Amino acid sequence: MSQTPIDVALIADMLDLQKQERLPHAILLVAPFGFALKGNAKAIAKSLLCQQQSANGCGACKPCQAFENQSHGDYRRLAQAEGKASIGVDQVREACDFVAQTSGYGDLKLLIVDGADKMTVPAANALLKTLEEPQGNSLILLTAEFSWALPATIRSRCQQRIIKPPARELLEAFLTNSGQGSVSSAVSDYELLRMAAYAEHSRPQFFQLADSILDALITQQIDVSQAYSQLDKTDTLETVNSLLHATESTCARESDAPNTSRLLALLELQQVLGAVLRRLRLGSTPAKEGLIYQICTLIAQVGRGDLAAVAESKRLLGINT
Ligand SMILES: [Zn+2]
């Protein structure tokens, strides 16, 4: 995997705030399509912990070297554990204890919560306590692909920063280095960013498949049973997650030339997929086949802009949003 492009202006801004001693205690990082969230969070952390306060770290000072060796005592990164669908309360408690300790280097303590939207409700509540009572010189950097999935109480405690999409040539280089081959100049900047976001994912095939199926189903080029037979049903959570990503980008595209009833239906679809995803992350294991089939049915209804049918599907899925 090639290195993700870094938002240099954002890092410079963070370093300025640090010099003025005006760093907030909590920052929520978001990015279009969630692209380069992890890379940027790490680069911000490294810059702020560097003794030289050098963008992306000088690489030579003691803190930079410790950061590289993953032995920096004032830095911790929290993410969902391998094979787990969510970030659990024990993980968060342990990380909050870390934030509460005095810093070893006498400076900043920094915690990254990667994929904060994957926290369970108890985990989010545990983090909220720490956010409500910030400790000394500490910064908690949260990243979220779906920031709306975070509890409002968490969001309101964080300063939100949006990562600016990288320049086209950087995205092209990233895609080439990720083994995606060269990109035609006919591809729009928007599509390019989306391709980069997919390439960054550990299983890009889920996203490509979900994207093409969502599009074909909405435009009625295929029917529900065709869509269902094509979807990879080996991992329900990944399938729902990738359909949600595809829905978000379709919403963004539709907003440019809105067909009102379809856009409304798409927003409903987004809510439903979000709710299903949360449920799956909490460990609910519904009958897989039924769930995916029902979601395909819902997508077809969304394509027709049939809001009454959409409401019925929501009822069948047990979602009241
Ligand atoms: Zn350094």
How far is residue 280's CA from residue 231's CA, in Å, rounded to a whole number? 18
Q: Which of 169, 90, 105 is nearest to 138 (CA)?
A: 105
Task: Verify that 152 and 63 share a domain, yes or no.
Answer: yes
Q: How far is the CA of 294 from the centre of ligand 1 (A)?
A: 53
Task: Verify that 78 and 20 share a domain, yes or no.
Answer: yes
CA 314 to chain centre: 25
Asked which of 133, 162, 191 is the last residue of a domain, the reply is 162
Q: How far is the CA of 44 from the centre of ligand 1 (A)?
A: 12
Residue 233 exposure: Cα atoms within 13 Å on the Cβ side: 14
Task: Verify that 157 and 208 share a domain, yes or no.
Answer: no
How far is residue 295's CA from residue 213's CA, in Å, rounded to a whole number? 12
Task: Verify that 136 and 233 share a domain, yes or no.
Answer: no
CA distances from residue 162 to 22, 188, 206, 228, 256 in whole angstroms, order as listed: 19, 21, 25, 35, 21
Q: How far is the CA of 72 from the centre of ligand 1 (A)?
A: 12
Q: How far is the CA of 61 from the centre of ligand 1 (A)?
A: 4
Output the average pLDDT for the chain: 90
Q: How far is the CA of 159 from the centre of ligand 1 (A)?
A: 25
Task: Verify that 141 and 269 share a domain, yes or no.
Answer: no
pLDDT for the residue numbered 237: 86
Q: How far is the CA of 173 from the centre of ligand 1 (A)?
A: 27
In contact, 146 and 29? CB cutoff 8 Å: no
23, part of any domain? yes
pLDDT for the residue numbered 263: 86
260, part of any domain? yes
How far is residue 317's CA from residue 295's CA, in Å, rounded to a whole number? 9
Residues 111-157 pLDDT 10s: 999 999 999 999 999 999 999 998 789 999 999 998 888 999 999 99
H/E/C letters for each residue in the chain?
Answer: CCCCCCCHHHHHHHHHHHHCCCCCCEEEEECHHHCCHHHHHHHHHHHHHCCCCCCCCCCCCHHHHHHHCCCCCCEEEECCCCCCCCECHHHHHHHHHHHHCCCCCCCCEEEEECCHHHECHHHHHHHHHHHHCCCCCEEEEEECCCHHHCCHHHHCCCEEEECCCCCHHHHHHHHHHCCCCCCCCCCCHHHHHHHHHHHHCCCHHHHHHHHHHHHHHHCCCCCHHHHHHHCCCCCHHHHHHHHHHHHHHHHHHHHHCCCHHHHHHHHHHHHHHHHHHHHHHCCCCCCHHHHHHHHHHHHHHHHCCCHHHHHHHHHHHCCCC
- Tally Cβ neighbours within 10 Å of residue 216: 17
- Phi-psi map region of 181: left, alpha, beta (phi>0 left; psi -120 to 50 alpha): left
In contact, 62 and 179? CB cutoff 8 Å: no
Q: How far is the CA of 70 from the centre of ligand 1 (A)?
A: 14
58, part of any domain? yes
Task: Verify that 153 and 214 share a domain, yes or no.
Answer: no
Task: Verify that 248 and 122 share a domain, yes or no.
Answer: no
148, part of any domain? yes
Task: Verify that 46 and 130 share a domain, yes or no.
Answer: yes
pLDDT for the residue numbered 205: 80
How far is residue 290's CA from residue 308's CA, in Å, rounded to a whole number? 21
Asked which of 162, 179, 213 is the last residue of a domain, the reply is 162
Q: How far is the CA of 67 from the centre of ligand 1 (A)?
A: 9
Task: Verify that 212 and 133 share a domain, yes or no.
Answer: no
pLDDT for the residue numbered 321: 63
Task: Report the domain count for the chain.
Answer: 2
pLDDT for the residue numbered 285: 67
Q: Which of 195-209, 214-228, 289-303 has the lowest mean pLDDT?
A: 195-209
Mean pLDDT along residues 151-171: 95
pTM of the prediction? 0.85
How far is residue 129's CA from residue 142's CA, in Å, rounded to a whole number? 15
179, part of any domain? no
| pLDDT surpassing 90 at residue 33 | no
CA distances from residue 88 to 112, 130, 145, 221 in whole angstroms, order as listed: 15, 16, 18, 41
- Tally Cβ neighbours within 10 Å of residue 70: 8
76, part of any domain? yes
Q: How far is the CA of 262 from the centre of ligand 1 (A)?
A: 51
| pLDDT surpassing 70 at residue 106 | no
Task: Verify that 156 and 205 share a domain, yes or no.
Answer: no
Q: How far is the CA of 30 from the centre of ligand 1 (A)?
A: 26
36, part of any domain? yes
Task: Verify that 37 and 156 share a domain, yes or no.
Answer: yes
In contact, 206 and 238? CB cutoff 8 Å: yes
Task: Verify that 221 and 155 share a domain, yes or no.
Answer: no
For residue 87, the domain's CATH number is 3.40.50.300
Q: How far is the CA of 112 from the centre of ligand 1 (A)?
A: 19
Q: How far is the CA of 43 from the centre of ligand 1 (A)?
A: 12
Q: How far is the CA of 178 from the centre of ligand 1 (A)?
A: 28
Domain that holds residue 215: 201-317
Q: How far is the CA of 23 from the centre of ligand 1 (A)?
A: 19
125, part of any domain? yes
